[in-house]
């Protein structure tokens, strides 16, 4: 029986994958800019924190590990502090490092980004500082990488080539690697280097270039999905068994030597940051194919993962439970009035908030039933959003509202209420909770600011003790006079009674 997408995301099996490629250290320096230097007309960055992340092939490996694959990485790093830092990050991500070659005469590739914020606005990248060596690796290192591949081929389900053009994949070495994998019956998925001759990936089971890269390789524009599909087919003439051309808003165009030609459209999303989307496509395709899924399921998973990735700030590996929750919400929980991408599951929310906090942002949270949305609700939500960089709204489910308000409520179901909240510019995320009390959700979100209506005292706000324990704030919002859902319902009933009496 063919493996479905849901089966793929719930399987107990952990596919074994070897990633070969250019590993980098992505270093982020976060701070604020409040003045111009007296020495030159340049901003002064006051550093708040520094964060190291895996980049390049390391990012692909980390994404695969988060999908719960068993991952090993073969690459080269310098015998320096940055190389040792990469090894620490790989160990923390549960990625095997015994195939990493350390070189005395080659620096570890580091991409350092300086990000500054001013007047509490979102941080902006000010400058990127690169340190790298892009010359081809010397023969001893090449032989060591080839030996790593030979040693592991009988223990892996798939090999990923993550080629960033930094010197690891000299043409002869790359051809040897692909030939060895073919002889062992192990498929190879390649993410091609920018401006590379794609003939060098001949023998691969699949390559995953994007629209612009494919256009350069074929020397023609790709403006429509149909042109993308034709381009995917043309790439097969280079000796490649399958091509997944990513077309951003138009999804993925797939073609293979078995005669399959198909466009896989993607559901439109609000794009926050495209960083990491290409790596996520490569990781998702590789995970699916290594697990025995067919090309259709692999492309659907890649579309799902990449569309969620672009909603996150920065690179954000996505665990399977987040992807499964999104898949199930698409299939069974889509509201009648149209589902906003702001409506998230608790698992999705965890990933979203992790990325925002990594960017130095603060999170505000409020909650309520929001039945019959009125100007009082809008004013309080707008106030709550102004307390931080983003606003999470906890929404009582239908069952929760009935327990709180009685059998006649809510007037609108939870999907409709969530959709209306998601349509407001001041709301960033809506998450539905089923409990009568919001305390557990507060403990999961851990907001920097917890906001509630001024009809409550600080000590009466549910969850206040959780927030205050870690130094967060509890803020009460002003209320709009003469507005309440109960009052609106009573007024409607009175008008209906009068109309009936006149009739």
Count of structural domains, the chain = 2
pLDDT tens profile 31-76? 888 899 999 999 999 898 898 999 999 999 999 998 899 999 999 9
End-to-end CA distance of the chain: 65
pLDDT of 488 reads 59
Rounded CA gap, 122 and 213, in Å? 30
Contacts of 216 (CB under 8 A, 6+ apart): 195
What stretch of H or E contains 357? helix 346-358
Whether residues 390 and 261 share a domain: the answer is no
Q: What is the mean pLDDT of the segment spanning 302-307? A: 78
Residue 310 lies in a domain: yes
Answer whether 0.75 is exceeded by the pTM: no
Q: Is the pLDDT of residue 334 over 50?
A: no
**Same domain, yes or no: 286 and 400:** no
Q: Is residue 52 part of a domain?
A: yes
The pLDDT of residue 138: 86
Q: For residue 167, what is the domain's CATH number?
A: 3.40.1190.20
Least confident among 300-304, 336-340, 358-362:
336-340
- Specify if 326 maps to a domain: no
Does residue 338 lie within any of the structural domains?
Answer: no
Q: Is the pLDDT of residue 337 over 60?
A: no
Query: In the listed set 300, 318, 336, which residue is the last one of a domain according to the structure?
Result: 318
Residue 495 has pLDDT above 70, yes or no: no
Residues 293 and 420 in one domain: no
Q: According to the per-residue pLDDT averaged within each range, which of 118-132, 377-391, 458-472 is highest?
A: 377-391
Residue 210 DSSP label = B
Catalytic residue, chosen from 26, 191, 279, 398, is 279
For residues 50 and 86, membership in a common domain is answered with: yes
Q: What is the extent of the structural domain holding 81? A: 5-36+43-318
* CATH code for position 387: 3.40.50.620
454 plus 311 within the same structural domain:
no
**Residue 228 burial (C-beta neighbours within 10 Å; 0-12, 13-18, 19+):** buried
Q: Are 60 and 136 part of one and the same domain?
A: yes
Same structural domain, 314 and 352: no
What pLDDT shows up at residue 271?
44
Q: Are residues 221 and 298 in the same domain?
A: yes
Q: Residue 440: is its pLDDT beyond 80?
A: yes
- Contact by Cβ (8 Å): 69, 159: no
Question: Are residues 268 and 158 part of one domain?
Answer: yes
pLDDT attached to residue 367: 93
Q: Are residues 357 and 441 in the same domain?
A: yes
Indicate the range of 33-37, 60-64, 269-273, 399-403 predicted with least confidence: 269-273
Last residue of one domain, picked from the residues 272, 299, 318: 318
Average pLDDT over residues 450-468: 79
The answer to whether residues 231 and 131 belong to one domain is yes
24-33, 328-337, 358-367: range with highest mean pLDDT: 24-33
> Tokens standing for 151?
């040693």
CA dihedral 58, 64, 66, 67 (to 10 degrees): 170
Which long-range contacts link 127-131 to residues 24+ away (Cβ below 8 Å)? 131/107
Tell me the average pLDDT across 267-289: 72
Lowest model confidence (mean pLDDT) among 118-127, 128-137, 280-289, 444-453? 118-127
Which of residues 318, 338, 356 is at a domain's end?
318
Dihedral, CA atoms, 4, 5, 6, 11, nearest 10 degrees?
80
In a domain, 324, yes or no: no
Task: Give a yes or no: residue 502 inside a domain.
Answer: no
Beta-strand ranges (E) seen in 166-325 are 188-191, 206-207, 242-246, 252-256, 261-264
- Answer yes or no: are the C-beta atoms of 350 and 35 closer than 8 Å: no
Position 175 pLDDT exceeds 90: yes
pLDDT range class, residue 250, cuts 50, 70, 90: confident
Is the pLDDT at 84 greater than 90? The verdict is yes
Q: Give the chain's mean pLDDT.
A: 84
Tell whether 501 is covered by a domain: no
Residues 149, 96 contacting (CB under 8 angstroms): no
Q: Which of 97-106, 220-229, 320-329 has the lowest mean pLDDT?
A: 320-329
- Respond yes or no: is residue 279 known to be catalytic: yes
Percent of the chain topping pLDDT 90:
45
- Is 329 part of any domain? no
Q: What is the dihedral of CA 88, 94, 95, 96, to 10 degrees?
A: 90
At 336 the pLDDT is: 37
* pLDDT more than 70, % of the chain: 84
- The verdict on 159 and 256 lying in the same domain is yes
Query: Which pLDDT band, with edges at 50, 70 and 90, does 181 fall under?
Result: very high
Q: Report the alpha-carbon distance of residue 308 to residue 348 in Å, rounded.
A: 9
Q: What is the mean pLDDT of residues 301-319?
A: 64
Q: Are 279 and 315 in contact (CB under 8 A)?
A: yes
């Amino acid at each position: 029986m063919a493996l479905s997408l849901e089966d793929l995301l719930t399987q107990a099996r952990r596919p074994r994958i070897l990633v070969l490629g250019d590993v980098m250290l992505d270093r982020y320096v976060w701070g604020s800019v409040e003045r111009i230097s007296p020495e030159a007309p340049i901003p002064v960055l006051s550093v708040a924190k520094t964060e190291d992340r895996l980049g390049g092939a390391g990012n692909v490996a980390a994404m695969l590990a988060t999908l719960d694959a068993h991952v090993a990485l073969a690459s080269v790093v310098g015998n320096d502090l940055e190389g040792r830092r990469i090894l620490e990050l790989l160990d923390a991500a549960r990625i095997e490092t015994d195939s990493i070659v350390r070189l005395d005469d080659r620096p570890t590739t580091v991409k350092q980004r300086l990000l500054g914020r001013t007047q509490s606005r979102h941080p902006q990248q000010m400058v990127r500082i690169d340190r790298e060596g892009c010359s081809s690796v010397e023969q001893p290192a090449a032989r060591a990488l080839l030996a790593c591949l030979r040693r592991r081929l009988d223990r892996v389900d798939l090999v990923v080539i993550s080629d960033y053009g930094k010197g690891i994949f000299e043409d002869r070495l790359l051809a040897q690697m692909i030939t060895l994998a073919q002889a062992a019956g192990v498929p190879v998925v390649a993410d091609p280097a920018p401006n590379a001759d794609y003939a060098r990936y001949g023998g691969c089971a699949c390559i995953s270039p994007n629209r612009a890269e494919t256009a350069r390789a074929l020397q023609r524009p790709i403006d429509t999905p149909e042109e993308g599909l034709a381009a995917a087919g043309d790439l097969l003439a280079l000796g490649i068994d399958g091509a997944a051309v990513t077309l951003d808003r138009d999804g993925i165009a797939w073609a293979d030597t078995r005669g399959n030609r198909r466009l896989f459209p993607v559901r439109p999303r609000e794009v926050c940051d495209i960083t990491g989307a290409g790596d996520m496509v490569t990781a998702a395709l590789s995970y699916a194919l290594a697990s025995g899924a067919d090309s259709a399921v692999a492309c659907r998973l890649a579309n799902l993962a990449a569309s969620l990735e672009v909603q996150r700030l920065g690179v954000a590996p996505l665990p399977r439970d987040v992807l499964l929750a999104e898949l199930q919400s698409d299939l069974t929980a889509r509201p009648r009035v149209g589902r906003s991408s702001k409506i998230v599951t608790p698992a999705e929310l965890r990933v979203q908030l992790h990325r925002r906090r990594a960017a130095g942002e603060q999170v505000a949270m409020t909650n309520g039933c929001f039945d019959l949305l009125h100007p009082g609700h809008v004013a309080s939500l707008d106030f709550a959003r102004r307390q931080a960089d983003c606003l999470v709204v906890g929404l009582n489910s239908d069952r929760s509202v009935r327990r709180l308000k009685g059998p006649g409520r809510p007037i609108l179901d939870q999907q409709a209420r969530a959709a209306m909240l998601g349509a407001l510019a001041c709301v960033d995320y809506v998450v539905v909770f089923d409990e009568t009390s919001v305390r557990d959700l507060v403990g999961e979100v851990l907001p920097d600011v917890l906001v509630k209506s001024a009809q409550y005292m600080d000590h009466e706000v549910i969850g206040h003790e959780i927030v205050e324990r870690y130094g967060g704030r509890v803020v009460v919002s002003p209320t709009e006079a003469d507005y309440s859902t109960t009052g609106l319902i009573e007024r409607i009933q009175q008008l209906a009674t009068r109309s009936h009496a006149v009739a």
